[in-house]
């Protein structure tokens, strides 16, 4: 295939349509960089509006691109239901992150132009990741996304926690990317290609050295496990989430994670599908470790952001269970769960953004005390997200978990299922603590002096709450989409 370029190297109009969402976002991002010096002081909110419009346009573009599925740009990217699902999910995450950021940036008097441009670029990278059909493309997307996120993590550059967070994220993230790139190099060495489908054919060949295949798999696995913060590669997550600005933590816990899981699924279920028997135990162990470490560590946390960081490690474990199932239904379960997880997590972070105050001083769990008396709507919304994180029926979190463990049992992962479900009972304890604080304690200083909910934050709470209920009560719509998308990943 190498050197055998298609006759018509010029991209067709269908190719352009397939890449339209990324194009829109890139244009919008660049535009914001240009406008930043002109309007940053006068119209600080404008950049948020621009990015929301860009995300909405990109969602429409992504949906229309789905009507012309297929490969584009010399097979570098491929549009299918799977990619479209994640594209739309990432764009929705983008909108919610922007909504959650308005008030925070105002409060911190931070520059808005660069912030939103970086956020948009980060999502461009993630969209490239989820639609890529080529390891180099995946790597480029990963880098675009990561570099933008490193900067975002240290966005308030006078804050030393931000700096710590950004540096840690950068160093460990670079390591992870390095591992991943080694894996790509070895896979190329074995197969002579970086295209996922061609690697798959080469690996399925019985003459291929199994040791080298194993090394390539292991290296990529380490890189991706870092990115999704799965144990034992999770150490960076609590520090980074705690240090970064709260809206950035919300974004980091969802967007990059969803994209990383998307390529995780795609690479391991297509390119490395033939040696899945050898990597399945690896994922099994990682899944169990992530769930257990995440949940038990979260039990003792006193800082809200840190607690959510550990909880996100545990949730990565649940999604790994779905990957360990190695089935179409497992893939669909992982996709559905990522959607539910993103909504409830951004929602929970939005409450933190609302109450943390200038300089993020109010992050202790006790600071939630009596919230239900002072701001019943905020408390009710956080309750919805917490119930969903626990996995109580009629919420998206429950159905996602149910679907994951159903996939696991169909693949005969009985012990993983039992241990995973018991884990979710452990998790109930620390989520309940927040509810206890909000509802069963008298209002403390923080909730007495809480600012009223701004319209943007209200939207960042209510939209995910509605989404959480929709996913829990009528999951059919999203589920069908996820299933048809999952059917294409093989």
What gap in Å lies between CA 173 and CA 150, rounded to an integer? 9
Tell me which of 393, 445, 448, 455 binds other proteins, using CB under 8 A.
Answer: 393
Provide the minimum distance between the beta carbon of 231 and other proteins in the complex, in angstroms, as a whole number.
21
Whose CA is closest to 12, among 71, 62, 66?
Answer: 71
Of the two residues 204 and 474, which places its CB atom closer to other proteins in the complex? 474
Q: Give residue 73's region: left, alpha or beta (phi > 0; psi -120 to 50).
A: left
410 binds other proteins (CB under 8 A): yes
422 binds other proteins (CB under 8 A): yes
Provide the minimum distance between the beta carbon of 307 and other proteins in the complex, in angstroms, as a whole number.
16
Q: Are 426 and 296 in contact (CB under 8 A)?
A: yes
Stretch that binds other proteins, among 147-155, 182-190, 347-355, 410-418 (CB under 8 A): 410-418
Q: Residue 185, preceding bond cis, omega within 30 degrees?
A: no
Provide the minimum distance between the beta carbon of 376 and other proteins in the complex, in angstroms, as a whole number.
8
409 binds other proteins (CB under 8 A): yes
Angstrom distances, CA of residue 300 to CA of 173, 257, 390: 26, 24, 17
417 binds other proteins (CB under 8 A): yes
Stretch that binds other proteins, among 20-28, 74-82, 115-123, 431-439 (CB under 8 A): 431-439
Provide the minimum distance between the beta carbon of 425 and other proteins in the complex, in angstroms, as a whole number.
5
Stretch that binds other proteins, among 173-181, 278-286, 309-317, 396-404 (CB under 8 A): 396-404
Of the two residues 270 and 483, which places its CB atom closer to other proteins in the complex? 483
If one counts every other C-beta atom within 10 angstroms of the C-beta of residue 130, the result is 25
| Radius of gyration (C-alpha) of the chain in whole angstroms | 22
All residues at 6 or more sequence positions from 312 whose CB lies less than 8 Å from its CB, including other chains: 229, 237, 241, 253, 257, 294, 345
Of the two residues 102 and 399, which places its CB atom closer to other proteins in the complex? 399
Q: Can you name the residues that pair with 134 across neighbouring β-strands?
A: 195
* Bridging pattern class, strands 70-72 and 77-79: antiparallel
Stretch that binds other proteins, among 2-10, 155-163, 216-224, 420-428 (CB under 8 A): 420-428
Binding mask 355-374 for other proteins (x = CB under 8 A): -----------------xx-
Tell me which of 11, 432, 449, 490 binds other proteins, using CB under 8 A.
Answer: 432
Q: Can you name the residues that pair with 79 across neighbouring β-strands?
A: 70
Q: Can you name the residues that pair with 303 across neighbouring β-strands?
A: 364
Tell me which of 33, 35, 57, 394 binds other proteins, using CB under 8 A.
Answer: 394
What gap in Å lies between CA 299 and CA 236, rounded to an integer? 18
What gap in Å lies between CA 131 and CA 58, rounded to an integer? 14
What gap in Å lies between CA 354 and CA 365, rounded to an integer? 14
Stretch that binds other proteins, among 231-239, 347-355, 430-438, 461-469 (CB under 8 A): 430-438
What gap in Å lies between CA 333 and CA 354, rounded to an integer? 31
Q: How many helices (H) and strands (E) does the chain have?
A: 22, 2
Site size for other proteins (CB under 8 A):
35
34 binds other proteins (CB under 8 A): no
Give the H or E element holding residue 71.
strand 70-72
Give the H or E element holding residue 78.
strand 77-79
For residue 363, give the DSSP letter. -
Provide the minimum distance between the beta carbon of 462 and other proteins in the complex, in angstroms, as a whole number.
15
Of the two residues 127 and 332, which places its CB atom closer to other proteins in the complex? 332
Tell me which of 440, 445, 449, 490 binds other proteins, using CB under 8 A.
Answer: 440
Tokens of 133: 């059909």
Provide the minimum distance between the beta carbon of 394 and other proteins in the complex, in angstroms, as a whole number.
6
Tell me which of 242, 254, 342, 424 binds other proteins, using CB under 8 A.
Answer: 424
What gap in Å lies between CA 222 and CA 203, rounded to an integer? 19
Of the two residues 119 and 413, which places its CB atom closer to other proteins in the complex? 413
Q: Are 395 and 469 in contact (CB under 8 A)?
A: yes
413 binds other proteins (CB under 8 A): no
Of the two residues 223 and 475, which places its CB atom closer to other proteins in the complex? 475
Stretch that binds other proteins, among 38-46, 147-155, 249-257, 408-416 (CB under 8 A): 408-416
Provide the minimum distance between the beta carbon of 442 and other proteins in the complex, in angstroms, as a whole number.
11
300 binds other proteins (CB under 8 A): no
296 binds other proteins (CB under 8 A): no
Of the two residues 233 and 430, which places its CB atom closer to other proteins in the complex? 430
Q: Which of residues 459-488 bind other proteins (CB under 8 A)?
A: 474-476, 479-480, 483
What gap in Å lies between CA 421 and CA 427, rounded to an integer? 10
1 binds other proteins (CB under 8 A): no
Of the two residues 11 and 393, which places its CB atom closer to other proteins in the complex? 393
If one counts every other C-beta atom within 10 angstroms of the C-beta of residue 443, the result is 18
All residues at 6 or more sequence positions from 360 whose CB lies less than 8 Å from its CB, including other chains: 161, 245, 246
- Which residues of the shown chain bind other proteins in the complex (CB under 8 A)? 372-373, 376, 387, 390, 392-394, 398, 402-403, 405-406, 409-410, 414, 417-418, 421-422, 424-425, 428-429, 432, 435-436, 439-440, 474-476, 479-480, 483
């Amino acid at each position: 295939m190498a050197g055998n370029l298609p006759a018509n190297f010029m991209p067709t109009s269908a190719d352009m349509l397939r890449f339209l969402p990324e194009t829109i976002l890139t244009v919008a991002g660049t535009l914001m960089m240009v406008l930043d010096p002109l309007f940053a002081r006068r119209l600080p909110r404008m950049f948020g509006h621009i990015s929301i419009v860009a995300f909405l346009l990109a969602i429409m573009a992504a949906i229309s691109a789905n009507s012309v599925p297929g490969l584009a740009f010399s097979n570098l990217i491929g549009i299918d239901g799977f990619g479209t699902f994640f594209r739309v999910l990432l764009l929705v995450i983008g909108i919610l992150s922007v909504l959650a950021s308005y008030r925070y940036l105002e409060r911190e008097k931070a520059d808005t132009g660069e912030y939103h441009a970086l956020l948009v670029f980060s999502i461009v990278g993630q969209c490239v990741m989820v639609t890529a059909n080529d390891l180099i493309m995946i790597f480029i997307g990963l880098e675009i996304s990561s570099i933008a996120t490193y900067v975002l993590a240290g966005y308030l550059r006078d804050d030393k926690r931000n700096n710590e967070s950004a540096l840690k994220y950068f160093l460990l993230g670079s390591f992870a990317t390095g591992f991943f790139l080694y894996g790509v190099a070895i896979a190329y060495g074995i197969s002579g290609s970086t295209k996922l489908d061609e690697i798959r054919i080469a690996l399925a060949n019985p003459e291929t050295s199994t040791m080298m295949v194993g090394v390539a798999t292991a290296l990529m696995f380490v890189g991706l496990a870092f990115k999704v913060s799965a144990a034992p590669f999770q150490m960076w997550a609590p520090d980074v989430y705690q240090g970064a600005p709260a809206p950035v933590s919300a974004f980091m816990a969802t967007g990059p994670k969803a994209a990383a899981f998307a390529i995780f699924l795609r690479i391991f279920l297509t390119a490395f599908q033939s040696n899945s028997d050898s990597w399945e135990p690896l994922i099994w162990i990682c899944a169990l470790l992530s769930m257990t470490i995440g949940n038990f560590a979260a039990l003792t946390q006193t800082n809200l952001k840190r607690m959510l960081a550990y909880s996100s490690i545990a949730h990565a474990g649940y999604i790994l269970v779905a990957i360990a199932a190695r089935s179409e239904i497992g893939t669909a379960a992982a996709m559905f769960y990522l959607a539910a997880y993103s909504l409830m997590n951004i929602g929970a972070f939005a409450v933190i953004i609302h109450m943390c105050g200038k300089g993020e001083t109010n992050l202790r769990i006790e600071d939630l005390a009596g919230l239900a008396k002072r701001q019943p709507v905020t408390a009710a919304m956080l309750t919805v997200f917490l119930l969903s994180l626990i996995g109580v029926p009629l919420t998206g979190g429950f159905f996602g978990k149910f679907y994951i463990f159903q996939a696991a049992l169909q693949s005969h992962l009985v012990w993983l299922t039992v241990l995973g479900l018991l884990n979710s009972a452990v998790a109930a304890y620390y989520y309940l603590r927040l509810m206890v604080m909000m509802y069963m304690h008298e209002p403390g200083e923080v909730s007495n002096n809480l600012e009223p909910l701004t319209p943007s934050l209200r939207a960042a709470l209510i939209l995910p709450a509605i989404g959480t209920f929709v996913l829990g009560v009528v999951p059919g719509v999203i589920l069908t989409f996820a299933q048809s998308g999952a059917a294409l990943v093989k």
